Structure 1
Amino acid sequence: MRDVLAELRPHEPKLLSYIGRRHRDPSRAEDILQETLLAVMQQSRKHQIDSPLAYAYRVADSLIYAQVRKDRREERLGDADYGCDLPIADEILEHKQRVAIFEAALLGLSPVRRDIFIRRHMDDQSRQDIADALGMSLESVKKHLVRAMAELAGVMDQATGAAPERRPLHARQ
């Protein structure tokens, strides 16, 4: 049995140069050369190869063409094909943490203020409807809403480490 690898060793630089010229990405030439030598060696164990160098050139061409076909398929796919609009796990966790902080801050409001806030922002009732239902003046409902928003914003700012939002003096109550 012949050692085809020993026969090909002196021709490796010439084969590498050939692969580098034929392939669009010369940086892959070394990898293709190694794959070529492996394929020739494996085939020589099954069948006798009369001209290992000619066979190596044929194998190299086949590997180059296969790589080019693979690259074309990958180019057509692109990153946009794998895009996902769903949030990543870190974003989901961060959102859940903000919701938990907000719920705790909401529970920290006085019962009347919490009730007014929930009716307005979660049940979508008008300020006048809330005032009528609770037997309060419209101005009292507005003040409770403003104060609830300020308290909730303060807690959220503090929890996230954000600087408190600057509000005009007439908005602070």
Structure 2
Amino acid sequence: MEPPPTSHTTIDRDSDITATVVRERARLVNFIRRRIRDPEDAEDILQDVFHEFVQAYRLPSPIEQASAWLFRAARNRIIDRFRKKREQPLADLPQADDDASNEYRLDLILPAYDTGPEAVYARTLLLKTLQDALDELPANQREVFVAHELEGRSFKDMASESGVALNTLLARKRYAVLHLRARLQTIYDDLDI
């Protein structure tokens, strides 16, 4: 008896997954290692993120922006790790660069996966609201926010690559953070986080 034919979409998805992992691996490793001191912990997070990515990519609803998804998942895993280990508060985490003051940062506090069904619900709701709020941003603000906050790129690098003034990039990030904070505040209030 012959095995069932392999779906062409499964093969396409697998090659998309492989291409994304190959393309994003180095940047993702750097992003994680800047925030996690222990190389073994950093590798564990990387493997968890890729495992999560493969599972999510095979779901019926497609991942629109794989790169942003990977960095968001890595950031969430890092936050979970710090919450569990209590090594240092999130506000003390080293940032990709020090040229942005605290008003330009969005410290998204997500409930850990393993703290029960209410936490899973709250986490899902917060991430959905964050994604919706990101989608509402003007493209230039969203791009700066994603590049700095999720991909760990410095404002200096972005300014030199794009030709956009550093202060303009800082202002775009600030407007994005203000919008995201406002949108997420009602969720935090409702969930009493």
Above 0.5 in TM-score?
no
TM-score range, shorter-chain basis?
0.3 to 0.5
Larger radius of gyration: 1
Q: TM-score, normalised by structure 2?
A: 0.38
Structure (1 or 2) with the greater helix fraction: 1
Bigger relative contact order, structure 1 or 2, given CA contacts below 8 A and separation 6+? 2
Q: TM-score, normalised by structure 1?
A: 0.43
